[in-house]
C-alpha cells in the first residue's frame, strides 16, 4: 500500500492504480463495497489539497474545467487508427469504424461498446506492462487533447497516451474521453462517499473543482450555499420511463399538469442587470446566444436578478412555426455576424428560480 493521503500527492499517483480501482468497481455487484473501495482510494492515494485531480477522472461528465474533446466515437475511431499507424483498409480499422457491429461484416462479442472494441484492437499493439503514466501526466495530456484545434494534433496526443499505457489503462482513458465509465455506481453514491454535503454543493454550483476544494474534511459539515446568478444550477430532469403506461403508473392516479414538449435545447438563463449568461443542461456556457437574445431578455424580464429555465428554439417568421431541431447554432451565429434572416432565436420559459430558492411556474396548463 502507498503512503497515507497526508503525505502522498494525487498528481504523482500512478494512473494504473486508478485503472485497477475502475476494474474492481465495475466487476463488483455490491453498492456498499463499491463505495468503500472508492473511499479507500481517496484516503490512501489522494492528497486533500488536490482531490480534484482524481475525482475529475472518476466523474468526467461533471468536469467543466476542461473543454470538450470534440471526439465522439466516429471521430475517435479514425483518430485511433491514425495514432496506431494502421491502414484504413485493415481488418482492425474496419472493426473500429464499425464498432456498433463489432466488425465490418459479422457481429462481434463487444459490438456496441466502443471502448471494448478499441481494447481488442489495442491489445494486439500494446504490451501488458504499464508505462508508468501518473494522474498528473494524464490530466496534462487530456488538457492538451481538449485544446487541440485539429484532428492531427488530437491524433498526436492519443499516440502519446498509447505509448505511455497498456491496453487496460488505455481502455479506461477512452471511456474518460467519452465521459462514460460504466462503473455501475451512481454519481450520487460517489458524492455521498466523498462528503455528505458534496451533492448539495454541486447542485447549486455545478463546479466539481469547488466541491473538491471546499469539502476536504469529510467530518466537517458545509454550510448550505445559496444559488448565485451567473453560476449554473443543476436543472431537475424528468425520469426516463419505457412508455406512457409506465409514466401514468408512477403518478398514482393524481391530477397532473402537462406542458408541451418543445424540440429545442434546454437552456438556463442568468440575468444580472444587463449581464446575461446562458448554460446548457450539462452546465456548459453558451455565450453564442447573447447576440440574438440578451437585448430581448434585458428589455422584457422585469426582475433585475433572476434565473430562468426553458427551451431555446428557432422561430421561422416566413412559415410562422418553429424551425426544425438543430438550427440553433446556425441562427445564433447569423445573429452574431449581423446577417438578416427570416429565422430568429426564441426561448420558451418554464420556470423562474428566485434567489430565495423557491420555484414558480410561469404558467399552469390544464
Catalytic residues: 261
Cell of 233: 444550477
131 vs 14, 86, 166, 230, CA distance in Å? 10, 21, 7, 42
Residues 6+ apart with CB under 8 A from 40: none
Whether residue 263 contacts residue 322, with contact meaning beta carbons closer than 8 Å, is answered with yes
Residues 6+ apart with CB under 8 A from 192: 35, 198, 199
**CA neighbours within 13 Å on the CB side: how many for 41?**
27
CA–CA dist 248, 254 (Å, integer): 9
7 secondary structure, DSSP code: T
CA–CA dist 260, 258 (Å, integer): 7
DSSP assignment string, 89-154:
TSHHHHHHHTTTTTSSSSPPTTTT-HHHHHHHHHTTTS-SS----BHHHHHHHHHHHHH--SHHHH
Is beta strand 343-353 parallel, antiparallel or unpaired with respect to 305-316? antiparallel
User: Closest by alpha carbon to 212, among 68, 64, 69, 355?
Assistant: 64
Cell of 59: 466523474
CA–CA dist 205, 202 (Å, integer): 5
DSSP assignment string, 208-236:
HHHHHHH---TTSPPPPPPP-TTS--PPP
Amino acid at each position: 500500500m502507498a503512503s497515507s493521503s497526508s503525505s502522498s500527492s494525487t498528481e504523482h499517483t500512478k494512473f494504473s492504480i486508478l485503472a485497477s480501482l475502475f476494474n474492481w468497481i465495475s466487476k463488483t455487484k455490491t453498492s456498499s463495497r463499491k463505495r468503500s473501495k472508492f473511499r479507500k482510494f481517496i484516503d490512501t492515494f489522494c492528497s486533500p489539497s488536490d482531490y480534484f485531480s482524481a475525482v475529475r477522472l472518476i466523474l468526467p461528465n461533471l468536469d467543466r474545467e476542461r473543454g470538450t474533446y470534440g471526439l465522439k466515437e466516429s471521430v475517435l475511431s479514425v483518430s485511433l487508427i491514425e495514432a496506431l499507424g494502421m491502414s484504413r483498409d485493415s481488418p482492425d480499422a474496419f472493426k473500429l469504424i464499425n464498432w456498433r457491429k463489432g466488425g465490418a461484416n459479422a457481429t462481434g462479442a463487444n459490438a456496441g461498446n466502443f471502448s471494448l472494441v478499441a481494447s481488442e484492437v489495442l491489445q494486439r499493439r500494446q504490451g501488458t506492462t504499464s508505462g508508468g503514466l501518473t494522474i498528473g501526466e494524464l490530466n496534462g495530456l487530456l488538457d492538451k487533447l481538449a485544446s487541440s484545434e485539429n484532428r492531427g494534433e488530437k491524433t498526436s496526443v492519443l499516440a502519446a497516451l498509447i505509448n505511455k499505457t497498456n491496453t487496460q489503462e488505455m481502455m479506461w482513458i477512452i471511456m474518460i474521453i467519452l465521459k462514460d465509465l460504466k462503473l455501475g455506481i451512481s454519481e450520487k453514491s460517489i458524492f455521498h462517499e466523498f462528503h455528505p454535503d458534496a451533492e448539495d454543493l454541486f447542485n447549486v454550483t455545478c463546479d466539481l473543482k469547488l466541491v473538491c476544494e471546499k469539502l476536504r474534511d469529510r467530518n466537517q459539515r458545509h454550510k448550505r450555499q445559496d444559488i448565485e446568478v451567473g453560476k449554473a444550477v443543476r436543472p431537475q430532469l424528468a425520469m426516463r420511463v419505457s412508455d406512457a403506461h409506465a409514466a401514468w403508473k408512477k403518478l398514482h392516479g393524481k391530477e397532473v399538469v402537462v406542458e408541451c414538449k418543445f424540440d429545442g435545447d434546454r437552456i438556463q438563463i442568468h440575468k444580472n442587470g444587463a449581464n446575461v449568461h446562458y448554460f446548457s443542461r450539462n452546465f456548459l456556457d453558451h455565450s453564442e446566444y447573447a447576440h440574438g437574445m440578451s437585448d430581448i431578455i434585458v428589455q422584457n424580464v422585469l426582475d433585475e436578478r433572476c434565473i430562468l429555465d426553458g427551451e431555446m428554439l428557432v422561430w421561422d417568421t416566413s412559415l410562422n412555426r418553429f424551425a426544425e431541431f438543430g438550427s440553433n447554432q446556425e441562427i445564433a451565429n447569423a445573429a452574431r455576424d449581423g446577417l438578416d434572416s427570416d429565422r430568429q432565436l426564441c426561448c420558451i420559459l418554464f420556470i423562474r428560480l428566485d434567489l430565495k430558492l423557491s420555484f414558480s411556474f410561469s404558467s399552469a396548463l390544464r
